Chains A and B, each alone.
Chain A
Amino acid sequence: MIEHLPVLQIIVPMIAAPLCVLLRRRLLVLGFAILACWITFGLSVALLDQVLTNGVVRYEMGGWAAPWGIEYRVDLLSAFVLLLVSGIGAIVLTFAPRSLSDEVPVSRHYLFCSVYLLCLTGLLGIAITGDLFNVFVFLEISALSSYALIAMGGRRQALPAAFQYLVMGTIGATFILIGIGLMYMMTGTLNMEDMATRLAAVDGVRTGLVAFGFFTVGVALKMALFPLHVWLPNAYTYAPSVVTAFLAATATKVSVYILLRFVFGVFGVEFAFERLGLTTILLPLSLAGIVVASTVAIYQRNIKRMLAYSSVAQIGYMVLGISFATATGLTAGIVHLFNHALIKGGLFMAMGCVMLRLKSVDIDDMAGIGRKMPFTMAAWAVGGLGLIGVPVTAGFISKWYLIRGALELNWWPVAVLVLLSSLLALVYVWRVIETAFFKEPSERAQTATEAPLSMLIPTWVLIGASIFFGLMTSRSAGIAQQAAEALLRGSP
């Protein structure tokens, strides 16, 4: 059993997905899917535990030995991302039933669960596999199912949003496919670990540069790095609340994981940063993304859209940390990947509660809602403070590492810009807090009541976690730091 953990991690949600379609009865399916998600989460906890005690866990698919067969390879970073994705997946689906019945026709719930589980499978698969082509396949599984999930949004704008995402996503994935192909051409292997060692032999071949370029651009598209983010705001705004919460907390994060794995694991720090100067591309883009997206967020009236732009900015923080290519910077990137997933997931779930009661996420309709839905909006406020990076929240931890990373390199202006950008976050977050708590209730808010417990509890679990990891950092930043050091050592 124990030795099959890595494959079970993928198999459980993958088998559960078609079973959902067979079961069909709404309650049965929901219960089953939620159970499957929690089992998956349990598996990832066990897997992380195993990695922490025994080091890297390897699993050869179908018994085919490593460079030829597909190998699942779970190191600390993988296990960390697996835990994050499966945890968020389980919590969000637990939150889902009530919110879904409001936003998605009841007759489609079993399909929703099925697609949701497929998407989860894809995201988990990306994190667990050690095979480059397998990454592409899982990437497409998660992407195709997320297009379907987004298209389930109640308003018709969800459809063009999903289509736009599909076009951009496919271009990104195809770029990645080209990159993989060229890499294979050079090294004759698809196993990432093997590829890293063989790359040394073909050092300096131009094909490598081209592959690197295609791959990086493709991943940047997938993770919505400014200015390749245009698909994200619409997709997040019009998708059902549950889907937004899930995707915002996981999809872009997994793409960041791919970037980390590829740049550090396959190509190595020396090639990517010292020879190619990846910093000179990532640093300005991430800084521009932080500033521009935060500023755009300030002017949004639809709060889901505002949070979506904030996500683009937060991706900027992660990439910024990565672009430092130092232990502290990488730690900042990885820990922010984790912290931001908690914070943004919680925020979008709170927006789901608001949507349920108000049938709107417009800031004008949210006036005075803090008095009617105190627990929901308190969760929102705590999450918002996390976005700003106020101490005692997880956001502060990320920011601390980021600033430290910049100062260690003596990159003054970067540290200052990061701090100034927090003030932009302050503006857009505070606008909502002020409207919700200190203004007279709007017409819609008058009749609103507190969200049901089935939604409040999962929301607070994530928000509570964001406070917990703002104080107890050994399990978040501690692991992130170990993972960062492993990446810098060059082991894929």
Chain B
Amino acid sequence: MSPATSIQLALALPLLGAVAIAVLRRRPDLREAATMATGGALFGAVASLLPHVMAGGRPSLSLFELFPGIPIAFVVEPLGMLFALVASGLWIVTSIYSIGYMRAHEEENQTRYYISFAVSIFGAIGVALSGNMLTLFLFYEVLTLSTYPLVSHHGTEKAMKGARTYLSILLSTSVGLLLLAVAWTWVIAGTLDFTDGGILAGKAEGPILVILLALYAFGTGKAALMPFHRWLPAAMVAPTPVSALLHAVAVVKAGVFTVLKVIIYIFGLDLLGTTGASVWLMYVAGFTIIVSSLIAMQQDNLKRRLAYSTISQLSYIVLGAALATTAGIIGGGMHIAMHAFGKITLFFCAGAIYVATHKTEISDMRGLGRAMPITMIAFLIGALSVIGVPPLGGSWSKWYLALGALEADQLLFVAVLMVSSLLNIAYLIPIPIRAFFSAPADGSAYPAFKEAPMFCVVALSFTAMGCVALFFYADDVYRLLVPLAGG
């Protein structure tokens, strides 16, 4: 199979899957089978690109010109490869989990749910593989719109309100700021192709660079940089698999991925390194890291706590990008994968707890470890990975991020990373510890063994193991990402 065919397949499969799901809407088992088959085939198509990229190739595909000089084009480069792999791989796991969760809950409108799910993965893959900024923007918006029905899934007043916040922040930042940045880049540089070393060097300088970077960084609302982070907690009204999709698989990752892409291929590391146009972004990211961690500590609702944790973790990646050093970029790229596995585990656990016990508040979860040992162990693993403890994947990305901060002579941000790790410990670790070692708060007896449905448990165990595995395979990820800095 030629690489171009693989790209075509990777884009077409989710859409075909969505059609199949729609056709099979009256046969739930077949419908879910279609979801799974799509996921498997999609992952296969994406994975078949990996050897080419590892060998230093950049498979590409150009469809047609949207505007003169700006085609809808796809180029598979290392970062996009990694994101596409993570998204398509975790999509399978999330689908397994969804089946367990949605059925256990007897949710309504499941067909709409699975269709939107498939379309959103289409958006994510498109973002990952896009070859120029306009293509990326198109898919970015596809992702925004296709996740709206997922967030508003319950259709209650609360869900509508959350979904409205979600949509309005994401659309207004992207249309109001990001689109402006894209159009401006086109006017300045005359191209929007992702090019090694950036396209702005020698064409823009001084304050214009800073403003443009601000438009990009804040315009990418999905990266949840403060003060445009509110949509993420608001979207917590969605069913848990959706939260997993938002936090790990597609949405926020598409956001930080966009920021990384823009910094590497639009601005270029050298340009930012020499002009220091991204220094302010480090401070914003550092601020977001610390403040959202502090907010997370005060949340008693588990999903909200995890949401603020995500905001903080995303800013790690933005920070890595803003450092504009080799290690920083690699650390940021790696963190996309590492955080994805860690956070998806945590969300799966939160959902499993909800399905099994209908508990949402952390204070109610004391002693739960006896009833749900597998879930809670997985939670612990996920938490440790997010904190960055070896031998778990998260330790590597934090290591490179810290290294990147050192390279850039930004000692302050080394300290920020350390402090935030401590804060991570403070808000994540007590949850499993109390689950295992405390008695239930209301003094009732320890509950009997009662795990979530099998589909859910399998999914969360798998991602927890993934966190461990990534520690040992981090070298491969590193080798994949290294060309980013060389270019």
Contact = CB atoms under 8 A, between A and B. Distances in A.
Direct contact of A and B (CB under 8 A): yes
Interface of A: 385, 388-392, 397, 399-400, 403-404, 407-408, 415-416, 419-420, 422-423, 426, 430, 434, 438, 471-474, 477-478, 481
A438 B155 contact: yes
B142 interface: yes
A416 B180 contact: yes
B160 interface: yes
B138 A391 contact: yes
Contacts of A438: 152, 155, 160
A391 B72 CA distance: 12
B172 interface: yes
B185 to A, nearest CB: 10
B184 interface: yes
Interface in B128-156: 137-138, 141-142, 145, 152, 155
B66 interface: yes
B167 A400 contact: no
B445 interface: no
5 contacts: A391-B141, A403-B183, A423-B175, A473-B65, A477-B67
Contact of B172 (A408, A426, A472, A473): A426
B184 A426 contact: no
A471 B142 CA distance: 14
Contacts of A390: 141, 145, 171, 175
**Could you say which interface size class chain B belongs to?**
20 to 34
Contacts of B66: 397, 471, 473
A426 B176 contact: no
Closest 5 CB pairs of A and B: A391-B138, A403-B183, A407-B187, A391-B141, A419-B176
B187 A404 contact: yes
Nearest to A393: B141
Given A415-B183, A426-B171, A471-B66, 18 more contacts: A388-B171, A388-B175, A390-B141, A391-B137, A392-B141, A397-B66, A397-B67, A403-B180, A407-B187, A415-B180, A416-B180, A422-B176, A423-B168, A423-B171, A426-B175, A430-B167, A438-B155, A471-B64
A416 B211 CA distance: 14
Contacts of A392: 138, 141-142
Contact of A403 (B72, B141, B145, B179): B179
Among A388, A390, A426, A477, residue most surrounded by chain B Cβ atoms (within 10 Å)? A390
A426 B168 CA distance: 8
Contacts of A430: 164, 167
A285 B142 CA distance: 33
Interface in B173-203: 175-176, 179-180, 183-184, 186-187
Contacts of B184: 407
A437 to B, nearest CB: 8
Contacts of B138: 391-392
Contacts of A473: 65-67
B187 A423 contact: no
Interface of B: 64-68, 72, 137-138, 141-142, 145, 152, 155, 160, 164, 167-168, 171-172, 175-176, 179-180, 183-184, 186-187
Contacts of B172: 423, 426
B306 to A, nearest CB: 26
Given A392-B142, A430-B167, A404 B186 contact: yes
Contacts of B137: 391
A407 B215 CA distance: 14
Contacts of B171: 388, 390, 423, 426
A482 to B, nearest CB: 11
Nearest to B135: A391
Contacts of B175: 388-390, 419, 422-423, 426
A404 B187 CA distance: 7
B34 to A, nearest CB: 20
Given A392-B142, A422-B175, A426-B171, A474 B180 contact: no
A392 B139 CA distance: 9
A438 to B, nearest CB: 5
Among A388, A438, A472, residue most surrounded by chain B Cβ atoms (within 10 Å)? A438
Contacts of B164: 430, 434
A430 B176 CA distance: 17
A120 B155 CA distance: 45
A434 B145 CA distance: 13
B187 A408 contact: yes
A400 B69 CA distance: 14
A73 B171 CA distance: 44
B152 A419 contact: no
Nearest to B186: A404
A416 B179 CA distance: 10
A403 B186 CA distance: 11
A475 to B, nearest CB: 12
A131 B96 CA distance: 69
Contacts of A423: 168, 171-172, 175-176
A75 to B, nearest CB: 21
Contacts of B152: 438
A147 B72 CA distance: 45
A474 B141 CA distance: 22
Contacts of B168: 423, 426
A420 B155 contact: no
A309 B22 CA distance: 36
A404 B152 CA distance: 34
Nearest to B178: A419
Contact of B65 (A415, A416, A474, A481): A474
Among B67, B68, B141, B171, residue most surrounded by chain A Cβ atoms (within 10 Å)? B67
Contacts of A389: 175
A407 to B, nearest CB: 5
A404 B64 contact: no
A39 B152 CA distance: 47
